[in-house]
Amino acid sequence: MHLAAQLPGIHNVTVWSDPRSRSQIGWESFAHLARTAERGKFDFFFLAEGLRLREHKGRIYELDVAGRPESLTVLSALAAITTHLGLAATVNATFNEPYEVARRLASLDLLSGGRAAWNVVTSFDAFTGENFRRGGFLDEAQRYQRAEEFLGVARRLWDSLSLADLPADQATGEFVRPGAGTFAHQGQHFDIAGRFTTPAGPQGHPVVIQAGESPQGREFAAAQADVIFSKYNRLPEARAFYQDVKGRLARYGRGAADLKIIPTATCVVADTDAEAAELAGEITRAQVSPQTAIAHLEAVWGRDLSGYDPDGPLPQVDPLPANQLLQGHSVFRGDRAKVARRWREIAEDRGLSIRELVIAVGDGQTFVGSPATVATAMRHFVSTGGADGFVLVPHTTPGGLDDVVDRVVPLLQESGAFRADYEGTTLREHLGLAQRHTAREAIR
């Protein structure tokens, strides 16, 4: 089983109003959670990223975390206080350039001793693009094409310069080998040539992570990624996703072990199953506050519904799906009219209020129970083909994973489901992935 930790900062996972919560953006919080993850022998620590603060009806959407430092900067600092923990950052391939991103990731990998990972994402909206004076920039299909070419160029850059190219031989006077760092690429989205500046780290290439959901995204992950984040943390759907993506690997000459599928998950742990269930309900109600419930309903309905009681029934008015009240939130894209119809059916069938409905259609808590119950459920999920592990997302910062590390991980270790200690120093070694040195051609 592979385990990772994510500091929450997007959607309504984190409960920043909890008395146990501390700063959502301060160094002490990042350091505490990273040290906790390394104490638990986790594979890596992951930071999501947003390139623009979300807005709700023209104002900052304050139910999300705002003001977080840039991820690679944070991870570079964390590299100095950890020794084994992988360091994974989301970096956008729509509004960045390959040379810059490849150099920053190579630097992190080199200075951390081979622990860097890149979650490759694209931007889906013109709202984010306004920060870059590009607006929409590309339609969705072209964004994947750009991401594929972007990754191929980054790999070519990483291959262009290694530590072996910098002998610094005092006897011969040779510091750098002729031709080192030379690269050239001409494609649909990029036409660059020059010399790369940063030698590759011990992994060869940083680990590549992707969150493929659409058929195109799943194909991209099967062809290119080392790890895929999945939203499927319920077993039947998770098994179907796992089989689908793993089944795509063979046509790219890859085996099942070459791609790790790791969904996000939450754990609520208490002394007994009953206590954990009660606590999980309290956490979920805190995550879906009355304000959050109305905001989510407005995002789907496209209407100002602030006058409605969150503990009352759904509004009788029809949605305005063309009207966007919550900007920059990827959950509420797609066919919102269809979503509204489904939500109304659920609410009517089960007699749910607005807030109860938003809770019901949300992810809820993945693993709930005593330490033994949670450990057993996690082992069952992995052993029956649901995933290769989990990215655990705590609901409080920074101590939200303390109970998991102190009470659940030892049981996973005793059962042999999880490592007792690190067996290597690089993230690729933690994940059981081979070192990578040869650039792959960008997928069509």
337-380: pLDDT as tens digits: 899 999 999 999 999 999 999 999 988 899 999 999 999 999 99
Amino acid 357 reads L
pLDDT at 443: 27
Candidates 64, 188, 151; CA nearest to 439 is: 151
pLDDT band at 437; cut points 50, 70, 90: low
The Cα–Cα gap between 249 and 282 comes to: 41
Query: What tokens does 400 get?
Result: 């939200």
Query: Bridge partners of 401?
Result: none
The Cα–Cα gap between 14 and 21 comes to: 9
The Cα–Cα gap between 33 and 7 comes to: 7
Instruction: Point out the annotated binding site.
Output: 90, 144, 214
Enumerate the CATH 3.20.20.30 domain ranges in the chain, comma separated.
2-268+367-431
Ramachandran angles phi, psi of 228, nearest 5° = -125, 125
The Cα–Cα gap between 398 and 401 comes to: 8
- Does residue 417 carry a pLDDT above 90? yes
Query: Bridge partners of 191?
Result: 186
Longest dimension (CA), the chain: 83
Cβ atoms < 10 Å from Cβ of 285: 15
pLDDT at 125: 81
Query: Bridge partners of 120?
Result: 91, 210
**Predicted model pTM:** 0.93
Counted residue by residue, the chain has a size of 444
pLDDT of 198-241, one tens digit each? 999 999 999 999 987 888 889 989 999 999 999 899 999 999 99
**Chain-wide mean pLDDT for the chain?**
92
- Does residue 170 carry a pLDDT above 80? yes
pLDDT band at 440; cut points 50, 70, 90: very low
pLDDT at 183: 96
Sheet with 59-60, edge to edge strand ranges: 59-60, 55-56, 326-327
Query: What tokens does 350 get?
Result: 């089960």
Query: What tokens does 380 get?
Result: 């069952």
Lowest mean per-residue pLDDT among 51-60, 168-177, 268-277? 51-60
Amino acid 124 reads F
- Percent of the chain scored above 70 by pLDDT? 96
Instruction: Quote the crossing angle between the two packed helices 290-301 and 354-361, to the nearest 10°.
Output: 80
CATH number, domain 2-268+367-431: 3.20.20.30
Long-range interactions of 220-223: CB distance < 8 A, separation 24+: 220/144, 220/147, 220/148, 220/443, 221/245, 221/259, 222/248, 222/249, 222/251, 222/252, 222/254, 222/259, 223/248, 223/252, 223/443
Instruction: Point out the annotated binding site for FMN.
Output: 90, 144, 214
Amino acid 6 reads Q
Candidates 86, 119, 111, 118; CA nearest to 2 is: 86
Sign of the torsion formed by the C-alpha atoms of 384, 385, 389 and 395: negative
Q: Is 85 helix (H, G, I), strand (E, B) or coil?
A: coil
pLDDT band at 435; cut points 50, 70, 90: confident
The Cα–Cα gap between 212 and 206 comes to: 18
pLDDT at 173: 93
